[in-house]
Structures are given as structure tokens and as C-alpha cells.
Structure 1
Amino acid sequence: MYTTKIAYKLYIALCFFVLFTQEQLNAQIVIGTPNLGFSQACASESFNSYSTTFVFSPTSSLNASNQFTIEMSDADGDFSNPTLLYTSNPGSVTTSPATLNFSLPETTSGENFKIRIKSSAPAATSSNSMAFAAYYKIQDAPFTINNLVETAAYCSGGNYLLTIDNPGSGSNDSPLNYPSLTYNWYKETGPTTSIFVTEGTTLSVNEEGTYFVETNYGTCTSNSFSNRVTVTEVSSGNANAEIVSSLGNPFCPGSGYTTLTTLTGNSYQWFKNGAVIPEATNQMYETNESGTYAVQVDLGNCSATGAIELVSELFDATINVTEDNIIEEDESLSVYLITTANSPEFKWYLNDTIISDATVDNFEVTEFGSYKVIVSETSGCIASKEFTFEVNEAFDPFPDVEKIPNVVSPNGDGSNDTWIIPTKYVNGTDTNVLIMTNRGKIVLQTDNYLNNWPENELNLTNINQVFYYVITTSGNETKKGSITVVR
């Protein structure tokens, strides 16, 4: 009886063991090696989408909460610290084979990455994929070295330093703005061939040749490369110092100042039209003016010189009036401009206030004041030219005044500068005008007074000086009085 009970208990335990084992077997899956939908992954801001396909079995073993994940190794294929690329939604992947899409992190850079697939319920891990090159091209545009100079030189026994510009001029997208990037320097061996020289952000050249640098994206093709610089050795005499204009030549001054750059040296001196430009002693010189610019570069044991005929694309424009213009009270002045500007735009101002309805190349001036007109080129080289001019009332040498003034102030301010008397006593009236000092010395006597005294410096000894006048008409009418000349 005791033996029977023991046997029964063993039987029950065996049944539970079989059922448990069967459940465990049913809860396991096998995930196949992921197949890649690409041979290399060359990602960028404009493209970063990749896929992998894998099989798993049995599909019936998946828990409703299961999630598939994609993990990526480091650049050497090591999964000690994998990068998570993708996680599926719970229960969203239930059929085999399955295809999952993923993107690369911006820090991806290497030739031997691998991926693997993992499931969460039940837990399983696939074998590693084939190795593949993967790079995220965070900078994928041409950039400049040595400010776009095409030629450079070094003295025999010396060297020339090539550097990546940061930031450089114009729209240059310097890769140095992205600290994670590395660089490979090359020397051309033919029109389409080159050899690797070294890595780094600079290259010290002591061998003649044409050099350039590329951002290191391994086997991935890229647009992240520099301009070419041809470097020569100078044994004696002067080398050619090429000058490059950052805005091109001709250049558009509407874009601001253009930067003239020459090759690297120990010291520099710039010239314009043959004359030294004071304090222009750097590798670069900014200007917005046309002209012949030259530079002398000290290279150490030798020197280099160069010149550029810099031409501005600024349009031509002329105006038909001078800076100072005079019209009568009831007159007008026709002002017009002639210009070569593309799609010109005109703005006219009177006393710094815009004249809203004046928008063409001519204007009829009827008011006295300070005028300004700005003509702008609105297509091509965007730039402007400004013209200013004054329009004043014409001076009347014989204004109709009622009284004979007793004060003049010849200081050139346009008010009381000369002694102006009523028109019945001036030129053409046969009136005699006599002016004398307080000591009786005659300083003016005329029968044709032109309202123009004093014309010359009086050499006044006091702050104010008094003169006396006698006006005698043709009918022997006499007017007498004093004139105080205020200094």
C-alpha cells in the first residue's frame, strides 16, 4: 500500500514536469540572421532610411506584448555596448519573414558595423549580420582651404601650411564646425588620380604638387571636399602671390566688402594703384572699391608678389544738377537721373522726408530745401547710389526794402552781409552814394550803387565800427545817417 502511494506521487510529478517542459519549449523562438537591404549605409540629412529582413519561428510562440528591437554594434563589430536603432510596437510584428526600417545616429562612422535582432517575449537574439560600412555625413558640401587660393609657394628648405578655413568666406560650410569629423589629405598624381598623404586638419607641404583634403567618410562617396592648391618651391627670386577676391572679380559691392586673400607668409604689405595702403599688413585686406591691388609677401628666405585688377559691378548713374542750385520764387527745377542699373528703383527725399509719389527717374522741384535721391539696382548686383543737392531761392541784389538800414554784419551768413538800400537809390537811378569813416575818409563813392558794400575785408579795429553815409538823388534830395558794422 505504501509503495503504491509513492508510485502515484511520482507519476503525478512526472506529468507536471512534462507539461512544464512542453510549455517552455512552446515559449521559445529562433530568430534568423538579419539580411541587409543595402551594401553600405551612407546617411545624410536628406537620406537616412534603411531596412533589414529576418525570419523567426515558431510564430505561435510570440507573446502579445512582444517587441522586436534592432541593435547596432560599434565600428569594430563589438556588441558590448550596442546602440538601439529601432523598437517595434508591442504585438505589431506577428508574421515571418518580417522587414523593419531604421535610421542611423549622426555619430555613426566606421567600416565594420553589424546589427542583430532581439525579441522581448519570449526573449531571443539573432546571430550578427554581415559587416557593413556606415557613415552619417553631417557635413556634405564643398568647403575651402587657405581661403580659396589656387597657388602657393615655399622657399627652398621650408614648407607651406595648408589649413581648412573656419569659418572661411562667403557661404563656406566649414567642416570644422562639426568636432566629430576627421579628414584625409591627398596629392594629385594625374587628372583623375591622387594618393593619400596623411590625416588631420592641416598639412605642412615641403614637396611641390597639387593638394586637397576630404572629410573622412570611408568608402562612402561624398561632396565634402576642398578646393585644390598647387604648391611650388622657390629657390631664388620672387614667387607669384596669387590674390583671390571672396566676392569674385568683378564683385558686387552691394553684398558688402570683398576680402582679398593671398598665400600664407611671415609678413605682408598691400598696395592700391601703386601706393602703400597704411596698416594693410595682414594676409587679408577688405575693400569695396575698384582698383589695382598688389601685395608683397615675405616667405622667409624668399618673397612673393602678386596683383589683381579688381572691378566693381556697381552700376553707373549721373544726375543733371549740381550740389547747389538756385531758382526764383515762382520757378521750378527739372531734375533727372541717367543710370545703367537693372530694374532701377528711385526714392526722392525733401529735408530727409520721403516724397511718396516720386518713384521715377525725374522730379520737378518747386520747393526750396535739401534734396536726396537714392537709385537702387533691384536685380543682379543689389546695390544703391545716393545723390544730394540743395535748392535755394535766388539772391536778389536789389530787394524792395522800405528803409535805409543802419546795421550790417558781413559774416557770410546770408543775412545783412551788405548794406541794402531802397531800389530808388540804387543802380540806374542816377543817385550818388557816399560812405566814409568816422574820421571822414571816403571808402565808397558811386552813382551806380549795387547794394554790395562792403565787398572787401574792412580790418575792423574794434568789435563794432561806425561809418557815415550821404545819399543824394538826381533831384538833390539828401539822406544822411550812420552804419554800424558788426563784427
Structure 2
Amino acid sequence: MNNLTSIKASAFWLCIAVLMLTFTAKAQIVIGAPSLGFSQACASESFNSYTTTFVFSPEANLDASNQFIVELSDADGDFSDATVIFTSAAGSVTASPASLDFSIPQTTGGENYKIRIKSTAPVATSSSSVAFAAYYKLQDSPFSINNLVSTGAYCTGSSYLLTIDNPGSPTNDSPLNYPSLNYKWYRETSPTTSVFVAEGAILEVSTEGTYFVETNYGSCTSNSASNRVTISEATNGQADATIASSLGNPYCPAQGLTTLTTIGGNSYQWYKDGNIIEGATNQMYQTNDSGDFSVQVDLGECMATGSIDLVSELFNSDINVEEINTMEEGETLTVTVTDDANNPTYEWYFNNSLIQDETDATYDASEFGNYKVVITENNGCIGAVEYQFTLQEALDLFPDVENIPNLISPNNDGINDTWIIPQRFVSGTNTSIRILTNQGKLVFQTNDYQNNWPQEDLGLTSINQVYYYIIETPDGTTEKGSITVIK
């Protein structure tokens, strides 16, 4: 009885073992090494999609919950700290061969990356793919070095430091904004060839030549490269200091100030038209003027000098009236602006209100008040020029006053500014007018008085001054009296 029981138990466990072996065999798959649909992965913001194809067997052993995973190695092909770059949806891939699309991380950069494929149900891992170059180009546009100054100079026995600008010019996308990037410097050997010099964000140059730097994206081609800078050694203690204008030359002042930049040195002094610009002692100087700008750069053991004839492209213009104009009531003042603007438009204003339908270069002003005209250039260097002028009623220089005044206040307020006397004594009457100080000194004399005394500043203080007048007509009549001048 015991033997029979033992035999049955053995048979039972044998069946269980066979079933488990059968189940285990059914739950296994083999995944082949992934095949790449590309030779190198040169990704950027505008493109980051790659495909791999692989085979697996048997298809029937996949569980409905299975997911395929794409793993990326490090830059040396090591999977010990692999990065998952794609995971398929559960049960979405059931047939072999299969293709998966993936993207590479922004931190990717190297020549020997690999990928492999994993499954989750059942668990399996492929061998790795062939090695490939992979870079995510965080910055892929031209950038500036040396503040876009095309030259530099060093003293004999010294050196010149080239640096990547950050942020550089307003349109410069500096790669220094992306700390993970690194760089390679080159020196030109011909217009089309160059040699590698060094790595890093700066380069100390002690050999003459033309240098530039590229963001290091390995074998991936890139637009992330700098301008060329030609470095020379000072001769006889002197070197040339090139000056660059950020808005070009000629430049358009409507875009704002242009920045003048020269080569790097220990100290600087800027000049305009040969005169020192006070306080302009930095490598950069901003201006919206035209003129002959120059700079002296102290390089340490030697000096560098440079100049630029800076020209503004803004159009030339003029107006045919003064800032303050007078006319009689009922008269008209014809105002004309002239210019060489490209496709100009004209806007006229009266007391800060736009005058509708007045769009010509000429306007007939007939009302007293404040005027303004704005000339705008609409093509090329788009900008505007404004002229302001005032139209006032003309003063009656010879009003019919009855008495000779003995008080004036020459403070330019339009009231009693000059000594206005009756018409029988003024211009055309051949009357002699003399004005003396209280000490008897003659300060004014005429036979053709224009009601315009005092014509000059009398140097008034807080104390009123007294003058004396003598009026003698051709018929022998004499008038005398005093004039008190108050401030």
C-alpha cells in the first residue's frame, strides 16, 4: 500500500514538473539586435525622431500586457546606467519584425552610443545595436566672439584672449546660455582649411592668425560656429584697433543707439572728431551721432589705435520757418519742409491735434498757436523727424500811446518790455532821443527811435534803476523826465 502511494505521488510531481517546463518554455522569447534606420542621430529642436527595427520569436509567447522598451547607453556604449527613451503601449506590438520610433534626450552628446530592446512580458533583452554618433544640438545658429570685432592684437611676448560673447549682440544666441555644451577652437590655414587648436570657452592666442570656434557636436554637422577674428602682433609698439558698429555703417538711428566696440585691452579712451569723449573709457561706446570716432587701447606693453567714420542713414530735412514766427491778423504763413526721405509721409499738428487731410510737404498756417510737422521715412531706414514752430500775432511796434511812460520792466513777458513813446517822437519824425544814467552817462542816442530800448541786458539787480531821457523835436520842443527800470 505504501509503495503504491509513493508511486502515485511521484507520478503526480512528475506531471507538475512537465507542466512547469512546458509553461516556462512557452513564456520565453528571443529578441534580435536592433537595426538602425540612420547612421548618426543629429537632433535639434526642429528634428528629433529616429526609427529602429528588430525581430523577436516566437510571436505567440508575447503576453497581452507586454511592452517593448528602447534603452540608450551612455556615450561609451555602457548600459549600466541606461536611459529609457521609448516604451510601447501594452499589447501594441505583436508581430515580428517590429519598428519603434524614439527621440534622444537633450543631454546626448558622443560618438559611441548604442541602443537595445527589452520586453516586459515575458522579460527579455536584446544584444546591443552597432555604435553610432548622437548629439542633441541645443544651439545651432551662428554666434559671436570678440564682440564681433574682426581683429585683435597682442604685444610682443604677451597674448590675446578670445572669448565667446554672452549674450553678444542683440540677435546673438550665445551657446554659453547652455552650460552642457563644449567647444573646439580652430586656426585657419587657408580660406577653406583649418587646424584644431584647443577646447574650451576661451582661447589665449600668442600666434598670429585667423581664429574661430565651433560648438562641439562631433561628426554631426552644425551651424553653431563663430565669426572669424584675425590676431596680429604689435609692430614697434603699435597695433591697429578695429572698431565695429553693432548697427552697421552707415547705420539707421531709428533702431536706437549703435554700439561701437573695439579690441580687448587693459584700458580705453574714445574720441569724436579728435576730441576726448569724457567718461568713454570702456571697450564699448554707444552713440546715435555721425562723425569720426576713434579709440586708443592700452594693451599693456604697447598701444593700439583705430577709427571709424560713422554715418547715419536717416534722411536729411529742413523747414523754411523759424521756431517763433509773427504775422498780422488775417494773414497766412506758408510752411514748407524739404527732405530726401524714401517714400515719406507728412503729418501736421495744431496745438497737439492732428490736422486731418493735410498730408503734403506744404501747409498754410493761418491761426495763432503751436504747430508741429512729422516727416516719416517708410522704406529703408524707417524713422521720423519732427519740427515744431509757433505762430504769434505781430506786435504793434508803434502804438498810439498818449503819454511818455516813466516805468518799464524788461523781463520778456510781453508787457512793458521796452520804452514805448507817443508816435510824434518815433521813427520818421527826426526827433532826437537821449537816455542817460543817474550819473549823467549817455547810454542811448538816436534820431530814429524804434520803441526798442533797452536793446541789451541792463544787468538788473533786486534794486530798481533810474534813467533820464531828453527828447528834442525838430521844431525845438524838449521833453525831459525819468525812466524807472524794474526787474
User: Which TM-score band applies after superposition, normalised by the shorter structure?
Assistant: 0.7 to 0.9
1:147 partner SS = helix
Provide the residue aligned with 2:301 in structure 1.
301
- Match in the other structure for 1:123: 123
The answer on whether the counterparts of 2:155 and 2:237 sit within 8 Å (CA) in structure 1 is: no
1:290-329 to structure 2, matched below 5 A, reads 290-329=290-329
The aligned runs of 1:398-477 (5 Å cut-off) are: 398-399=398-399, 408-418=408-418, 420=420, 451=451
Preserved CA contact (<8 Å) 2:237 2:301: no
Partner of 2:10, secondary structure, is helix
Aligned to 2:338: 338
SS in 1 for 2:22: helix
Offset of 1:184 from its aligned partner?
0.6
- Superposition deviation, residue 466 in structure 1: 8.6
Question: Which residues in structure 2 correspond to 1:180-199 (within 5 Å)?
Answer: 180-199=180-199
* Aligned 1:263-278 pairs, distance under 5 A: 263-278=263-278
Matched with 1:91 is 91
CA distance, structure 1, for counterparts of residue 257 and residue 315 of structure 2: 16
Question: What is the letter of the counterpart of residue 158 of structure 1?
Answer: S
Does 2:249 align with 1:286? no
Is the contact made by 2:183 and 2:216 (CA closer than 8 Å) also made in structure 1? Answer: yes
Report if aligned partners of 1:466, 1:483 keep a CA contact under 8 Å in 2: yes
SS for the counterpart of 1:96 is coil
How far did 1:388 drift?
1.9
Farther off after superposition, 240-249 or 420-429:
420-429
Residue 83 of structure 1 aligns with an amino acid whose one-letter code is T
Residue number in structure 2 paired with 1:107: 107
Aligned partner letter, 1:97: P
- What is the number of equivalent residue pairs in this alignment? 487
**1:435/1:444 contact within 8 Å kept:** yes
The equivalent of 1:132 in structure 2 is: 132
Q: Is the 2:241–2:306 Cα contact (8 Å) retained in structure 1? A: yes
1:444, 1:198 → 2: CA distance?
A: 84
Name the counterpart of 1:172.
172
Q: Does 1:14 align with 2:14?
A: yes
**TM-score computed with the length of structure 2 as normaliser:** 0.88
Give the Cα–Cα distance (whole angstroms) in 2 for the partners of residues 222 and 371 of structure 1.
57
- The equivalent of 2:222 in structure 1 is 222
Identity, % of aligned positions: 62
Which range moves more in the overlay, 135-144 or 388-397? 388-397
- TM-score, normalised by the number of residues in structure 1: 0.88
Partner deviation per Cα, 1:16-41 (whole Å, 9 max, x = no partner): 22122211211111111110111100
The residue aligned with 1:28 is 28
Q: 1:432 to 1:241 in 2, by over 3 A?
A: closer
What letter matches 2:243 in structure 1?
Answer: I
Deviation at 1:78? 1.2
1:305 counterpart SS class: strand
Q: How does 1:39-50 map to 2 (within 5 A)?
A: 39-50=39-50
Asked if structure 2 preserves the Cα contact closer than 8 Å seen for 1:69 and 1:117, the reply is yes
User: Root-mean-square deviation (CA), in Å?
Assistant: 3.6
Question: Which AA in structure 1 matches 2:366?
Answer: T
Deviations 1:96-127, CA, capped at 9 Å, x for gaps: 11111111111111111111111111111111
Could you list the runs of 5+ residues in structure 1 that have no partner in the other structure?
A: 474-478
Change (3 A) 1:194 1:368: same
Deviation at 1:204, TM superposition (A): 0.7
> For residues 442 and 190 of structure 1, what CA distance do their matches in structure 2 show?
86
The Cα of 1:292 is off from its aligned counterpart by 1.4
Instruction: Identify the residue that residue 476 of structure 2 maps to in structure 1.
Output: none
Distance 1:195 1:438, change over 3 A: closer
Alignment partners' CA distance in 1, 2:261 and 2:94: 64
- Secondary structure in structure 2 of the residue aligned to 1:325: strand
CA contact (8 A) 1:268 1:283 kept: yes
Stretch of structure 1 that moved more, 453-462 or 273-282: 453-462
Query: How far apart, CA to CA, are the structure 1 residues paired with 2:460 and 2:242?
Result: 65
Measured at CA, do residues 434 and 230 of structure 1 come closer, stay the same or move farther in structure 2, by a change above 3 Å? closer
Instruction: Note the C-alpha offset of 1:297.
Output: 1.9
The question of whether the paired residues in 1 share the 8 Å contact of 2:36 and 2:52 is answered with yes
Structure 2 residue aligned with 1:247: 247
Q: Once the 2 structures are TM-superposed, how far is the Cα of residue 278 of structure 1 from its aligned partner? A: 2.2
Give the counterpart letter for 2:75 in structure 1. A
- Return the alpha-carbon distance in structure 2 between the equivalents of residues 460 and 250 of structure 1: 51
- Asked if the contact 1:368/1:391 (under 8 Å) is kept, the reply is yes
For 1:78 and 1:366, the matched residues in 2 are separated by 88
Going from structure 1 to structure 2, the CA distance change for 1:470 and 1:356 (only over 3 Å counts) comes to same
Mapping of residues 332-371 of structure 1, within 5 Å: 332-371=332-371
Aligned partners of 1:170 and 1:247 also within 8 Å: no
Which is worse superposed, 319-328 or 449-458? Answer: 449-458
1:36/1:437 Cα in 2 relative to 1: closer, same or farther (>3 Å)?
closer
Matched residue, 1:476: none
